[in-house]
């Protein structure tokens, strides 16, 4: 008999919503010099979150591990076909199509973050400017596909995936869920992020003069 079981541990959920917010914030502050320091801080935050997720993907709980959502190309095609027929196979963790978007988001997040740091430190010049902008725009496109995919899967499976990513719970058989939520690690993550955003001091040569102190730099 189906019951509420824990699928997403707390660090995975903290990672997800912090990544979504930091990406959105970095994207929205990209164009104005005035918010350059905030933009850079959110970029560093995104890189830190992805670095954490790469480690958690190896040592984290069952459904957070990459091994639980690494699929063969044939399985991905099969899943996409089953979506078209409106009877997709149900996965408790990430489904094959969602997994592709997730790996793309992690890869593009790394690419845009690292190229942003190189740009900020004035290493490599214009080459990184194009790469930084291109990767961020591609990431935005994948985010839209990701959100559309979440909506479609939620409808087809009559399962609220957004709520699951907030509460951690889905409906499933006893014994299929994880037993440890790792709340302590989620608290540490939240504290480290809050401390970083509070005490971050711009250091790169791209620091933007007067206007920059208005964002999150508390020098004044």
Interface ranges with ligand HEM (CB under 6 A): 12, 15-16, 19-20, 23, 53, 64, 94-95, 98, 102, 105-106, 143, 146-147, 150, 161-162, 165
Distance CA 87, CA 166 (A): 25
191's CB contacts (< 8 A; 6+ apart) are none
Number of Cβ within 10 Å of residue 154's Cβ equals 15
Distance CA 167, CA 127 (A): 42
Distance CA 216, CA 201 (A): 8
CB of 179 to ligand HEM, least distance (A): 18
CB of 125 to ligand HEM, least distance (A): 27
Q: Which is nearer to ligand HEM, 75 or 217 (CB)?
A: 75
Q: Which is nearer to ligand HEM, 151 or 195 (CB)?
A: 151
CB of 102 to ligand HEM, least distance (A): 4
Beta bridge mates, 63: none
Q: Which is nearer to ligand HEM, 46 or 212 (CB)?
A: 46
Q: Which is nearer to ligand HEM, 170 or 212 (CB)?
A: 170
CB of 20 to ligand HEM, least distance (A): 4
Phi, psi of 207 (to 5 degrees): -60, 140
DSSP for 124-175, please give it.
Answer: STHHHHHHHHHHHHHHHHHHHHHHHHHHHHHHHHT--HHHHHHH-EEEE-TT
3-state class (DSSP) for residue 55:
helix
Q: Which is nearer to ligand HEM, 55 or 74 (CB)?
A: 55
CB of 216 to ligand HEM, least distance (A): 20
């Amino acid at each position: 008999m189906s019951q509420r079981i824990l699928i997403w541990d707390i660090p995975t959920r903290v990672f997800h919503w912090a990544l979504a917010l930091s990406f959105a914030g970095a994207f929205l502050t990209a164009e104005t010099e005035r918010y350059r320091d905030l933009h850079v801080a959110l970029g560093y935050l995104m890189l830190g979150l992805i670095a954490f997720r790469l480690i958690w993907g190896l040592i984290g709980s069952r459904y957070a591990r990459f091994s639980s959502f690494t699929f063969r190309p044939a399985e991905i095609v099969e899943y996409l076909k089953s979506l078209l027929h409106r009877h997709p196979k149900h996965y408790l963790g990430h489904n094959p199509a969602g997994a592709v978007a997730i790996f793309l988001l992690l890869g593009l997040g790394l690419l845009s973050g690292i190229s942003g740091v190189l740009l900020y430190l004035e290493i490599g010049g214009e080459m990184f400017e194009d790469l930084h902008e291109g990767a961020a725009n591609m990431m935005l496109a994948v985010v839209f596909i990701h959100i559309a995919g979440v909506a479609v899967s939620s409808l087809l499976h009559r399962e609220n995936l957004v709520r699951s990513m907030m509460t951690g719970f889905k409906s499933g058989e006893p014994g299929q869920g994880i037993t440890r939520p790792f709340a302590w690690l989620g608290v540490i993550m939240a504290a480290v992020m809050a401390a970083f955003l509070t005490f971050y001091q711009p250091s790169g040569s791209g620091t933007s003069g007067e206007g920059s102190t208005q964002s999150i730099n508390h020098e004044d």
